[in-house]
Amino acid sequence: MEAITSRERTGWGFALCLKFFEAEARFPEDAGEISVPAVSCIAQQVEVPEEEAPFTTWSGRAIKRHRMKI
């Protein structure tokens, strides 16, 4: 299986952030707050292996953009 692209990784990061916000009414401080079941659920939806989770996107411009959009 191919590795996911940076665009797919960013989209997946957005989905994880959105689901966390829906459940917790706040944004995650870091990837450690994202539950394993949430990662599994999103992974199945986007058809990407769980181990490809975009945990590097929790700092920097991408996460700031995700928060603004949400």
Q: Which residue has the tokens 């944004």?
A: 27
pTM beyond 0.75: the answer is: no
Q: What local confidence, expressed as pLDDT, does residue 26 receive?
A: 94
Q: Residue by residue, what is the 3-state secondary structure of 1-69? A: CCCCCHHHHHHHHHHHHHHHHHHHCCCCCCHHHCCHHHHHHHHHHHCCCHHHCCHHHHCCHHHHHHHHH
Q: Which of the four pLDDT bands, split at 50, 70 and 90, describes residue 4?
A: low
Going by C-alpha positions, the residue among 13, 9, 1 that lies closest to residue 58 is 13
47-62 tens-digit pLDDT: 777 777 666 557 778 8
Residue 70 DSSP one-character state: -
